[in-house]
Amino acid sequence: MAAEHDEGIVLRLTDFRETSQIAALFTAAHGQLRLIAKGARRGTKTRIAPGLDLLERGELAFLPPRGEAELGTLTEWVQRDAYAGLRRTPVRLYAGFYAAEATLTLTEPGDATAALYAGLRGLLESLAGDAAAGAALVAFQRTLLRAAGYAPHLESCVECGRPPRPGEAAYFGSAAGGLLCRDCEGHHVEKRRIADALRGTRPEGGAAVEWFALLDYHLTQVAGKRLRTAEPLERLLRAEA
Ligand SMILES: [Zn+2]
């Protein structure tokens, strides 16, 4: 069987048997891939494959899963960017971990979305550089939610269509799909009050930590569980804000 080629980002590594690892990657053309990297485990004498690191980007060759198998096989990995800069502060590193966990949670193997790959790559570049982590994260959350079909509607109340009035409390309903005004929020059980700091702002401006928390709430509802990395990341973001 011929190997396929792609470029991808390493999102999770799990030890497998004596010497191997299972790598979960998000790739440009194939979306999420889960591949066995034989002999890639560090510290083993029989290491035959180059080691993989979390949150690095590279070019790969792989044999796709056959039949009922869920795992393909990684046959080649050439690192192209280690994003070393994102490891220099905890908030940047956790932002990368959060993006990895969120991507694996909201995509299925086989969903190829070039826009999401570009968004993930752009986020890691921002985190490795000097851009503010919060704003870069919010942009990524929006790209991920859009790719997964859950882009929230924030311009007006999803129920009555009225734009938010200045100075009036507003709510966000995840199942409702976006903004709920004070008159309509009473019909919805699942909702969250929108922080006062976000009134009249848009995700691309405004208080990044609060936008992160709101979009993380939406993501939590969509996923059915809070991501493991969300709570420590939110704490780090608030400490920096
Ligand atoms: Zn309304």
Residue 33 located in a structural domain? yes
Which of 69-78, 110-119, 176-185 ranks highest by mean pLDDT? 176-185
Is residue 115 located within the same domain as residue 166?
A: no
Q: What is the CATH number of the domain that holds 135?
A: 2.40.50.140
Mean pLDDT check: name the lowest of 65-74, 123-132, 180-189: 65-74
Check whether residue 25 and residue 131 sit in a common domain.
yes
- Structural domain harbouring 89: 4-147
How many CB atoms within 10 Å of residue 106? 20
Q: Are residues 137 and 188 in the same domain?
A: no
End residue of a domain, out of 147, 173, 203: 147
Residues 45 and 158 in one domain: no
Same-domain pairing of 195 and 95: no
238 occurs within a structural domain: no
Task: Please give the distance, rounded to the nearest whole angstrom, from the Cα atom of residue 171 to the centre of ligand 1.
Answer: 10
Domain match, 128 and 223 both = no
pLDDT at 7: 97
The alpha carbon of 135 and the centre of ligand 1 are apart by a number of angstroms equal to 28
In a domain, 142, yes or no: yes
- Same-domain pairing of 140 and 160: no
- With bands split at pLDDT 50, 70 and 90, how would you rate the model's confidence at 67? confident
Contacts of 174 by beta carbon, 8 Å cutoff, 6+ apart:
152, 190, 191, 192, 217, 218, 221, 222
Ligand 1 centre distance from Cα of residue 179 (Å): 8
Ligand 1 center–CA 183 separation, angstroms: 5
Distance 168 CA to ligand 1 centre (A): 12
- Residue 17 and residue 72 in one domain: yes
Which of 147, 177, 211 corresponds to the end of one domain? 147
3-state DSSP of the chain: CCCEEEEEEEEEEEEECCCEEEEEEEECCCEEEEEEECCCCCCCCCCCCCCCCCCCEEEEEEECCCCCCCCEEEEEEEEEECCHHHHCCHHHHHHHHHHHHHHHHHCCECCCCHHHHHHHHHHHHHHHCCCCHHHHHHHHHHHHHHHCCCCCECCCCCCCCCCCCCCCCCEEECCCCEEECCCCHHHCCCCEECCHHHCCCCCCCCCHHHHHHHHHHHHHHHHCCCCCCHHHHHHHHHHHC
Q: Do 42 and 96 fall into the same domain?
A: yes
The Cα angle at residue 223 between residues 92 and 160, in degrees rounded to 5: 105
200 CA distance to ligand 1 middle (Å): 16
In a domain, residue 234? The reply is: no
Burial 188-211 (b: 16+ CB within 10 A, else e): beebbebbeebeeeebeebbbbbb
Distance 213 CA to ligand 1 centre (A): 22
Question: What's the pLDDT tens digit per position in 143-176?
Answer: 999 999 999 999 999 999 999 888 889 999 999 9
Rounded to two decimals, the pTM is 0.93
Give the Å distance between the CA of 211 and the centre of ligand 1: 21
In a domain, 198, yes or no: yes
Q: How far is the CA of 176 from the centre of ligand 1 (A)?
A: 11
Evaluate whether residue 117 is within a structural domain.
yes
Shared-domain flag, residues 181 and 131:
no
Is residue 237 in some structural domain? no
- Which is higher by pLDDT, 199 or 127? 127
Q: What is the mean pLDDT of the segment spanning 193-222?
A: 92
pLDDT on residue 124: 98
Q: How far is the CA of 184 from the centre of ligand 1 (A)?
A: 4
> Is 233 inside any structural domain?
no
Q: Identify whether residues 51 and 139 lie together within a single domain.
A: yes
Beta-carbon neighbours within 5 Å of ion ligand 1: 157, 159-160, 181, 184
User: Average pLDDT for residues 67-89, to the nearest whole number?
Assistant: 92
Query: Distance, CA 173 to ligand 1 centroid (Å)?
Result: 11
Q: How many angstroms is it from 189 CA to the middle of ligand 1? A: 15
Of the residues 98, 123, 147, the one at which a domain ends = 147
Residues 191, 85, single domain; the answer is no
Give distance in angstroms: CA of 222 to centre of ligand 1: 22
- Separation of CA 160 and ligand 1 centre (Å): 4
Question: For the chain, how many structural domains are there in total?
Answer: 2
